[in-house]
Amino acid sequence: MALTEELLLERIRSGKLIEGPEYATERYIEGLKRTLIVSADTELISAPAYFRAAQDAPNINAYISATGIIQDELGHAHIAYRLLRDLGVDTDALVFERDPKDFKHPYAFDVPLESWTELVVANAFYDRAGFVLLGDVYRHTSYAPWKRALVKVDREENFHLRHGERWMEILAQDPDKKRELQRAVDWMFVLTLEWFGLPDHLKRHTEQIAYGLKGKTN
Ligand SMILES: [Fe+2]
Ligand SMILES: [Fe+2]
Q: How far apart are CA 211 and CA 12, in angstroms?
A: 7
For residues 119-148, give the mean pLDDT: 96
Backbone angles phi, psi at 143, to 5 degrees: -95, 105
User: Given this model, what pLDDT does residue 206 score?
Assistant: 78
**pLDDT exceeds cutoff 70 at 168:** yes
Residue 97: pLDDT band (50, 70, 90) is very high
Residue 212: pLDDT band (50, 70, 90) is confident
Determine which of 21-25, 104-108, 141-145, 174-178 has the lowest per-residue pLDDT on average.
21-25
Q: Is 122 in contact with 113 (CB distance < 8 Å)?
A: yes
For residues 165-188, give the mean pLDDT: 98
Ligand (nearest to CA of 50): 2
For residues 210-216, give the mean pLDDT: 85
Q: How far apart are CA 111 and CA 171, in angstroms?
A: 22
Complete DSSP assignment for 143-155: BHHHHHHHHHHHH
Ligand 1 centroid to Cα of residue 177, in Å, is 27
Ligand (nearest to CA of 134): 1
**pLDDT exceeds cutoff 80 at 1:** no
Terminal Cα-to-Cα distance of the chain (whole angstroms): 35
User: Given this model, what pLDDT does residue 207 score?
Assistant: 80
Q: For residue range 26-57, what is the model confidence (pLDDT) as tens digits?
A: 999 999 999 999 999 999 999 999 999 999 99
The fraction of the chain above a pLDDT of 70, given in percent, is 99
**pLDDT exceeds cutoff 60 at 185:** yes
Ligand 1 centroid to Cα of residue 158, in Å, is 10
For residues 161-186, give the mean pLDDT: 98
Q: How far apart are CA 173 and CA 90, in angstroms?
A: 49
Give the domains, in start order, of the chain with CATH numbers.
40-197+205-210 (1.20.1260.10)
Ligand 1 centroid to Cα of residue 153, in Å, is 6
The fraction of the chain above a pLDDT of 90, given in percent, is 81
Ligand (nearest to CA of 39): 1
User: Given this model, what pLDDT does residue 217 score?
Assistant: 84
**pLDDT exceeds cutoff 80 at 179:** yes
Ligand (nearest to CA of 128): 2
Determine which of 1-10, 16-25, 119-128 has the lowest per-residue pLDDT on average.
1-10
For residues 161-182, give the mean pLDDT: 98
Q: For residue range 10-27, what is the model confidence (pLDDT) as tens digits?
A: 888 888 999 998 899 999
Ligand 2 centroid to Cα of residue 134, in Å, is 11
Q: Give the closest residue to 126 by CA, choosing from 193, 76, 62.
A: 193
User: Given this model, what pLDDT does residue 51 score?
Assistant: 97
How many C-beta atoms lie closer than 10 Å to residue 200's C-beta? 11
